[in-house]
Amino acid sequence: MNDMLKGKKIVLGITGSIAAYKACYIIRELIKGGAEVQVVITPSGKEFITPITLSALTHKPVISEFFSQRDGTWNSHVDLGLWADCMLIAPCTAATIGKMANGIADNMLITTYLSMKAPVFVAPAMDLDMYVHPSTQKNLQTLKSYGNIIIEPQSGFLASGLEGKGRMEEPKVIAECLSDFFDKQEKGLYADSSLRGKKIMITAGPTYEKIDPVRFIGNYSSGKMGYALAEECARRGAEVTLISGPVSMTCSDSIKRIDIECCEEMYNAATDVFPGQDAAILCAAVADFRPEHAADKKIKREKDDLVIRLSPTRDIAASLGKLKSNSQKLIGFALETNDEELNAKKKLKKKNFDFIVLNSTKNEGTTFQSDYNQVAIMSENETKHFDKKPKNEVAADIINELENIL
C-alpha cells in the first residue's frame, strides 16, 4: 500500500455483524497508512464490539447516539459529512444496506451516510442466502446507482456453518481499495481521456408546453439519464453545458446549467450553444406538439368536451444535424414502443446522428423515473446491446462510445 491514505479523514461505519471484530484490523490498516479514523457504530454493532476497544485504536471517542450527554451536547452528522474524505461501512449488514437504499434515517450511521459529501464504500457481510436474496441484490444495485462503491464479499466458511458468498472482504484488501481510489483520484482516472478540454452540450429532462397558466403537455422524464451523462463527461475533464427541462435534479458546480421550460426555449438555447461545441448529446424528452394557442387564463370546465388544436414543435435534432460541421459529433436518443431498431435506424439517418442510443418501454424497470436503463447503441454499421444497469453505468458506456469517435 502506498502513501495515498496519509492525511485522509475517514468515517468508518460499523454495523451489527459477527464480522464487526474485523473493524479493529481495518482501523489498524488505515491508521498505518496515515489516515485519521472516526468510528460511527450502530446500537446493534455495540453488541459485537465495544466502543472502548475502537476508541483505544482510533484515539477518538466513538459516535453512536445523536446526543452524547444530557446537557444538550449532540453529535452532528452534517459536520461528519463535510469533514470526511470518504466513508467506509464495514461490515455492512443487509438491514443497513436496506436502510441506506431507502433513506431510513433511524440511527446516527444512516444520518451520517445521508449527509456524506464524500465517496462512500460499502463492504457487505451476511449469510449467503441473505446476500443472494432479490431484495438485498436490488438494494445493492440501488446503492450503486447512487454512486456508492461496493466492495464485494468473498466466498468461504460463514458464521452459520455454511459455505458460500457473504464473508466480508479482508481488512487489508479493504484498505487497499481505499488507497487505490485516492491514488486514481489524485492522478485523475481519466487523465488521458479524449474528452479532456472538449466542449460537450447535453440536453436533459422534459419540456412543458402550456395549455393555460396551470396546465401543460409534458411527459414522465426525470432527467436522470441526461444528468448522469453530464456528470460522466465532467468527470472525464470535459467542459459541459447542460440544457435542462423542469426537473428536481441537481448537478456539479463545474457544469454550466441552462434551465428551460418549453421546446422553443430549448431550441433557442441549443442552437445558440451548439456551434461552439465539439459534441452534443440530445437526451431530453422534447414534446413533439404544443397547443396552437395557450390560454392566458385558466380554462374552466363549462362543456362536456374540450378540443385543443396542436401544432408541431421545432425539431431540435434535425436543426442541429443541419448545423453540424465535419468536426462535430451529434448523439441522439430514441425511446421506442414498437419496431425499435427499425425506427431508431431511420432516426439515426434522418437526424444526421453519429450514433443513436435506443431504449424501449418494453424493458421493465427502465426509462422514465427509473434509476436503471437498458440500451442499444446503434451506428450506421454496428449495433451494440448492453445489459440493464444503473444509469450512471449506462452513461459511462455511452461516453466510452463517444470517446471512440471524438
The CA dihedral of 176, 181, 184, 188, to the nearest 10 degrees, is -170
Neighbouring C-alpha atoms within 13 Å toward the C-beta of 219: 20
Answer whether 165's CB lies under 8 Å from 130's CB. Answer: no
Q: List all residues 6 or more positions away from 64 whose beta carbon is below 8 Å from its beta carbon.
A: 40, 41, 42, 43, 45, 46, 51, 108
Distance separating alpha carbons of residues 18 and 115, to the nearest angstrom: 27
Cell of 369: 423515473
Residue 30, SS3?
Answer: helix
Q: Which amino acid is at 188?
A: G
Answer whether 112's CB lies under 8 Å from 11's CB. Answer: yes
Neighbouring C-alpha atoms within 13 Å toward the C-beta of 15: 24
Answer whether 274's CB lies under 8 Å from 249's CB. Answer: no
Residue 177, SS3?
Answer: helix
Neighbouring C-alpha atoms within 13 Å toward the C-beta of 300: 1
Q: List all residues 6 or more positions away from 69 whose beta carbon is below 8 Å from its beta carbon.
A: none
Q: Which amino acid is at 82?
A: L
Reply yes or no on whether 219 is catalytic: yes
DSSP-assigned states of every residue in 341-354: HHHHHHHHHHTT-S
Please pick, among 75, 107, 148, 219, the residue that the annotation labels catalytic.
219
List the catalytic residues: 219
